Structure 1
Amino acid sequence: MKPLNQLISNLFDIKKKELSIALWMQLYLFLIIGALLVVKPTINALFLSTAGADSLSIAFILTAIIAVVISFSYHKLLERFNLRYIIRSTLWFFSIAFFAIGLLVMFDVTNLILVYTFYLFVGIYALLVTSQFWVLANVIFNIREAKRLFGFIGAGGIAGGIAGGYVTSILVPFLGNGALIIVASLMIASCPYIYHKIKSHSYKGKMKLEVKKREVVSKESSIKLIINSRHLTHLAGVIGIGVLVAKLVDYEFSYLASQQIQDPMELASFFGFWFSTFNIISLILQLLITKRLLENFNIETNLFFLPAAVIACALLLFVMPELWLVIILKGFDGSLKQSLHKSALELLAIPIPSDVKNKTKTFIDVVVDSIATGLAGLVIIFVVKGLNLPNYIITVSIAILSIIWIYLIFKVKDSYLSIFKQSIVKREKLRREKNNMGTLISNMKIIFENGGAEDVLAMLQKLPEISHKSLKEPILKLLNHNDKRVVTAVINNLDYVVVEPVAQVQDFIYTNDSELINAAMNYLLSHEHISYQFYENYLDDEDDKIATAALLSLAAVSQENPLLAEKYNLKLRIQIFSSEIGDSNMQIAELARLIETLGYASTTNYYSIIENYLKHDNKNLRIAAIKAVGHTRDTYFLMSLIEGLRDDVLNDSITDSIQKMGNKSLKTLEQVYLKQKTGNRYKISLLHLLYQIETRKSHRLLIHLAKQSDISVKKIAFELLFKSRKAGRKSILKKKELIKLIDKESAKYKELVRVYWSLKISQRSDKRTNGVISLLEKNLIEQLITSVDHCISNQLEIIFNLLSQRYNPEDVYVAYKGMISKETVSRLHSMEYLNGILSRDLKNMLFPLFELESHTLSNETFEFQERIELYDRSKMLEKLLLIQESKVHSASINLLNLQHEKLIDTILSHLPTSKSLKIKKTLLSSKNGKVKIA
């Protein structure tokens, strides 16, 4: 048995611990479908010979009515009894019922009413018992398991259909219809025992509590749950339209067959043969194609195949209404519906919360299916018979309904992905930004009136985007706020909500807050057209505090409006005030304003003054000089500014100034970045600088430099690009360029994971061929495991940030948070969400890596070794030395230094010459260096 089990596991990608439960589930489905395909052709033949094909439409409507009544009763039972009890009871009920039907048929106790009853029983059995099976499958398996196993398990149902159909076709002449129905009842009677085996195996494979949680049933009404869920509504629509089309196809198949085959026995044999043949085709599809299609194509593509095939056949049938064409049409419906389409439909139910799914899935499978069946009956009665229209109207209806079917498939795909996204957002407690303007304005008013200073400042930043007139009064009240930062921010944004000048602003030029004075002056200057004399009075004020503030505002505004410079003699005023620089009586704040004003002078005459103050001991004067450099937009001072980036106090001012230089600063920034002595912290500052320059060239340089940086630095670089995309800017990377970059980073990720698990193996090995491993080496390995694990996390984040350059940043962020979650469900939902949004080339590239993500792997090393090839000790050390991360590199050299000389020489010989020489130099400089330079 072991070789056979191994063969099945390898062939169908089934894990060893899953094989038993998968086989039991397959047998369960084999028996219930096999029983159906024994009973259905027998009862169909009996019905058609007794009631006639014209009565099918009435049977469809009666099935719908009975199914609705039974469904409501069934859902009341679900609220009172355990799901396990209900499933077992249902199986026993239908086993006894079919046994009784078999006896009645055997003794020829039949009439029109009984035939209708038999037909209805078969219809309800087909809906209810199969629906219960898939509810059970949804309880036991998660989404990733379902994708791998549903194809294999579903093959059991198809095989059951084949066996049942051929048994009917072959044995009905010998045993008769009644005996075959009794055989079917015995097949169903064995299912409760199999159900018990399935439950016991599911508890072994997973935590009992987890499985029991999935068996919980919601107390809410099924209809209410479906109406309130966009996904359930679309799912019900897809199933309903699919059933309606199938019933119309079934009618055409049955109608034409009964017209040409009059004998009931021969007709039963015909149905049995073709039902089984369709199932053989379906089995081949299920075993050889379904799993591959489910894994390689999006869910809407897999659902699309069936309606597309039906439309093609319907169009041909419209031209040539022949039995062989109807057989082909029924063949597509019978084979695809039970294989690929069925598996894809069941996957749509997986992400629905368990309590909702357990309540609504059977309702959809039974009631929606039955209502669709009833509608098919009404179409046949009123359209074909009532209006006495030709039969091709059914063919036209099939084609039109299939088009609607395709439309609903694309709608359900969107809601399907939305459920995964919502699940991750909810489980990971992610805040989702709401863009409702009314709510945002209302929140702003509340914060302006009652919020703290920091909250008010944050909301004031949104004023340029939301300049609503209703904010006028709350904004004006903030001019009396105790925090001067708030008042300054209000004045800077006042023109967005208040059109007319606000007189109160001029009062703030007499305060002691330099930033507030500057803001007030800028505001007053923007309204100087009201009175020329009004602003000139400030420029000529005897108080230097007011005069310098007015001069700085004038110089700044004149950059955009040169006429103002001429109007107020800006150059002359700067020249007069510059002669006063160095005056011991001048206050620091006034001197700072004058120095900053020199940057607007549009001449190099004052560069020496600015340069002197760039080295001044007073930080306020240095900041003023830095701002002046920014106003000049001249790279003359660039190196002096770059050197100052190491000072946290000056960093923001320097960044703002260099940003104003734009692309002119890029060459120098690149040279500084690539210097060997430039540390990672300094590099990060330079990357932030490149990001804030906000030109295409600066962002391209950011990517270029990131490629040559440590993983931790590279992560920061791509975080900045993610931030750029989130702000609404377009990606600067072309599709091919981006995919190539993702491919490279993915390869690095895979190498890191291999190194990580090779280190884990090394950690567990406590012996060497030459003795016991030292405590120092153990500590170094533990340190490296931690560092490499951190690199893996950073590398994963890099890949997701790169994905944001092609896809919606919010979607990518949600998927990333799900992928790194500690919750298995969130990780699985993240993968399915990505499966729905990524292109096929990226899925093929990234999904093997996501499967390797360290948090999703078992702690058992043998399970990991099945996924990826690990390195031996020599190769592991070689790969460690190649990892571009300073902490890993230094620890790797220390670990290398503990190895024997021959191994060190072997490892270094495999490295690039330049890297090898650097490592040799480092080893020789250490006290315990062992390497001898040849």
Structure 2
Amino acid sequence: MTPPAASAVAQRKGRFRGALAESPPLWWALVYFFSLLCGYYVLRPVRDAMGASTDVAAIFPRSWIALGERHGFEVGAFTLQLLFTGTFVAMLLLQPVYGALVSRYPRRVFLPVVYLFFIGCLVGFWWAFGTGASGRGALFFIWVAVFNLFAVTVFWSFMADVFDNEHAKRVYGYIGAGGTLGALCGPVITRFLVGPLGVANLLLVSAGFLAACLLCIMKLRPWARRRERELGDSGGEQPMGGTMLAGLRLVWERPLLRALALLMFFGVGVGTLLYNEQAAIVREFYPTAEGATRYYSTIDWAVNGLTLVVQVLLTRLLLRRYGVAPLLLLPAIAILLGYTLLAASPLPLLVATVQVVTRASEFSLSKPARETLYTRVDRESRYKAKAAIDTVVYRGGDLTFVWLHKALSMLGSKVVFLSGIGIAAGLVYGAWRVARAERSLPASPGPGNGAGTGSAEERQVHAT
């Protein structure tokens, strides 16, 4: 390593040590996100291999397959469409449950409940995989998607309680990097332990990482309460009240939240089209479950490796110097260019490359920028509206674009990617809308549940 490079590394290490010393909860936040994403990425390659599998009997219940045969309907021809539809339905059913939790129970109750529920589900799947229960593949695919969205949403909402906006700009890049390290370790665990342990026992490994998340929640609670006292807001340990579907109402009413929902919808669109094209490639070139799992593990490694580099080198610098606008606009423009290249030459290697860039830019740039915005809005927006955007809007986009892809794929990959150019343009527009709406936010939310959502006039309207 050359002296300038060594000096740069030393400086980054010094900044990281300084951030830990300045912000003690950063350590527990790092462990929390590492454990969460490591536990998730232990499961993800197995889920993706199921979605691309040609073994219909391993995915759907036998009764579904028989019903399709009686009506001349081949279930296996619509595997991803049915799985994504099931995921969306699950989100619609669970969103009111989540809304009820945050409306009726204080944080110290509903955060542990969410994670205990997921741990209990993993134990149930451990039994189902061990006994070969019918329909376990589809149920597991849907559950992993639900788990990822709800668990990560709860994590970032909690971080917005622990850190104020200025601290968030300094530490969110480090926290994201901690999660990326977990995302790198998860596929390694799956790759090397699936043989000796088997798929079923890997689920218990993931449950162990979620138990570590519970410990981190308990350790971070005092800092969340301290920040609330500094803001003159004691609401974090009290129920927020409101209706179960208040999150969707807030998204409809508030310009920033509407812009974030639009950004999420088109972001899901570009990702879903790529995911489905990638699944078609896997079915053709990697027909075995082992080969498919190995391919998806490689993609996850590439995504998370690139994400880590960007998070460490660029995310913090861009956030502190330029704010959220470049972190939202640059990935959107890069994805638009990627789809333009794919429309001209839809090669499998190029599809994989654009997929890596799309996911890595989302994790390293777009998501930290969006999460920083939630430190400047009220608690209802952080917990209710954010959950609605990250679950209902996200999976609604999945549902829309997975069926759109099915229709477009009949006309060929070039048509898919030409349509993707329009969707990517919508992503650029959504990023611009968020960057514009962000200018009206205060530096930090005021006390209570109603501040920090828009202009002073708008907040007064909502207060009445």
TM bracket (short chain): 0.7 to 0.9
Change in Cα spacing, 1:354 to 1:390, as seen in structure 2 (3 Å) is: same
State the secondary structure of the residue aligned to 2:346: coil
Any conservation in 1 of the 2:310–2:364 contact (CA below 8 Å)? yes
What is the match of residue 43 of structure 1? 47
8 Å Cα contact 1:168-1:180 kept in structure 2: yes
Amino acid in the other structure paired with 1:10: R
- The 1:257–1:423 alpha-carbon spacing in structure 2 relative to 1, beyond 3 Å, is same
Cα distance, 1:421–1:9 mapped onto 2, change above 3 Å: closer
Q: 2:207 aligns with which of 166, 185, 210?
A: 185
- The residue correspondences of 1:427-576 to structure 2 (distance < 5 A) are none
> How far apart are the structure 1 equivalents of 2:94 and 2:281?
32
- Secondary structure at 1:420's aligned position in 2? coil
Measure the CA separation in 2 of the matches of 1:266 and 1:281.
Answer: 23
2:130 matched to 1:130? no
2:310 aligned to which of 251, 273, 285: 285
Shift of 1:394: 2.2
Distance 2:223 2:160 in 1: 15
Separation (CA, whole Å) in 2 of partners of 1:329 and 1:81: 42
Q: 1:416 to 1:265 in 2, by over 3 A?
A: same
Q: What amino acid does structure 1 have at the position aligned with 2:438?
A: Y
- For residues 290-309 of structure 1, give each alpha carbon's deviation from its aligned partner in whole angstroms, at most 9, with x where no partner exists: 10111222422211122222
Q: Does 1:116 align with 2:138?
A: yes
> C-alpha distance in 1, partners of 2:77/2:40?
21
Q: Which residue of 2 aligns with 1:327?
A: 352
Q: Which residue of 2 aligns with 1:80?
A: 104
How far apart are the structure 1 equivalents of 2:208 and 2:152? 17
Paired with 2:269 and 2:237, the residues of 1 have a C-alpha distance of: 30
Report the 3-state secondary structure (helix = DSSP H, G, I; strand = E; otherwise coil) of the residue aligned with 1:186. Answer: helix
Kindly provide the amino acid, as one letter, of the partner of residue 132 in structure 1.
V
Where does 1:770-789 land on structure 2 (aligned, <5 Å)? none
Amino acid across the alignment from 2:33: L
Give deviations 1:361-403, integer Å, cap 9, x for gaps. Answer: 111111111111111222123443xxx3213222122221111
Q: How many matched pairs? A: 420
CA shift for structure 1 position 143: 0.9
Structure 1 runs (4+) greater than 6 angstroms displaced: 421-424
1:731-782 superposed Cα distances (whole Å, 9 cap, x missing partner): xxxxxxxxxxxxxxxxxxxxxxxxxxxxxxxxxxxxxxxxxxxxxxxxxxxx
Give the Å deviation of 1:287.
1.2
CA contact (8 A) 2:184 2:300 kept: yes
| 8 Å CA contact 2:162, 2:227 repeated in 1 | no
Q: 1:10 aligns with which of 9, 12, 15?
A: 15
Alignment partner of 2:169 out of 141, 147, 152 = 147
Q: 2:297 aligns with which of 268, 272, 291?
A: 272
Q: Map Cα deviations across residues 144-163 of structure 1 (whole Å, 9 max, x no partner).
A: 11111100011111111100
Aligned: 1:34 with 2:38? yes
Shift in Å, 1:422: 11
Mapped contact 1:61–1:375 kept (Cα < 8 A): no
Q: Deviations over 1:233-289 (max 9, x none)?
A: 111111121112212221122221221101101211111122022101111111111
Correspondence for 1:375 among 397, 400, 403: 400
Indicate whether 1:96 and 2:120 are aligned. yes
How many Å separate the matches in 2 of 1:198 and 1:128?
A: 19
Query: C-alpha distance in 1, partners of 2:337/2:192?
Result: 33
Q: RCO greater where, 1 or 2, for CA within 8 Å and sep 6 or more?
A: 2
Is 1:106 matched up with 2:130? yes
- Is 1:246 matched up with 2:251? no
For residue 389 of structure 1, give the secondary structure of its aligned residue in structure 2: coil
The residue aligned with 1:357 is: 382
Helix, strand or coil for the counterpart of 1:190? helix
- Name the CA distance, whole Å, in 1 between partners of 2:384 and 2:160: 12
* CA spacing shift, 1:432–1:246, aligned 2, 3 Å: closer
On the 8 A contact 1:161/1:279 being kept in 2, the answer is: yes
Identity value in percent:
21
Q: Report the residue type matching 2:302 in the other structure.
A: T
Question: RMSD across aligned C-alpha pairs, in angstroms?
Answer: 2.7
1:17 Cα offset (Å): 4.0
Offset of residue 179 of structure 1:
1.8
Q: Is the 8 A contact 1:169 1:270 kept in 2?
A: no
In the alignment, is the contact (CA less than 8 A) between 1:135 and 1:358 conserved in 2? yes
Is the CA contact (8 Å cut-off) linking 1:257 and 1:323 kept in structure 2?
Answer: no
Over residues 763-815 of structure 1, what are the superposed CA-to-partner deviations in whole Å (9 max), with x where a residue is unaligned?
A: xxxxxxxxxxxxxxxxxxxxxxxxxxxxxxxxxxxxxxxxxxxxxxxxxxxxx
Is residue 184–residue 301 contact of structure 2 (8 Å, CA) maintained in 1?
A: yes
Would the aligned equivalents of 1:140 and 1:211 in 2 still touch at CA under 8 Å? no
**Partner of residue 320, structure 2:** 295
TM-score (ref. length: structure 1): 0.43
Matched, 1:22 2:26: yes
Unaligned runs of 5+ in 2: 1-10, 57-75, 458-464
Q: Write out per-residue CA displacement over residues 866-905 of structure 1, whole angstroms, 9 at most, x where no aligned residue.
A: xxxxxxxxxxxxxxxxxxxxxxxxxxxxxxxxxxxxxxxx
1:556-608 Cα offsets, whole Å, 9 max, x none, are xxxxxxxxxxxxxxxxxxxxxxxxxxxxxxxxxxxxxxxxxxxxxxxxxxxxx
**Corresponding residue to 1:58 among 66, 82, 85:** 82
Residue number among 280, 284, 300 corresponding to 1:255 in the alignment: 280
- In 2, Cα distance between the equivalents of 1:195 and 1:106? 31
Correspondent of 1:67 among 75, 78, 91: 91
TM-score, normalised via structure 2 length: 0.84
Tell me which amino acid in the other structure corresponds to 2:89: I
Cα pair 1:290 1:339 within 8 Å, conserved: yes
- Report the Cα offset of residue 70 of structure 1: 0.5
Q: Is the 8 A contact 2:225 2:234 kept in 1?
A: no
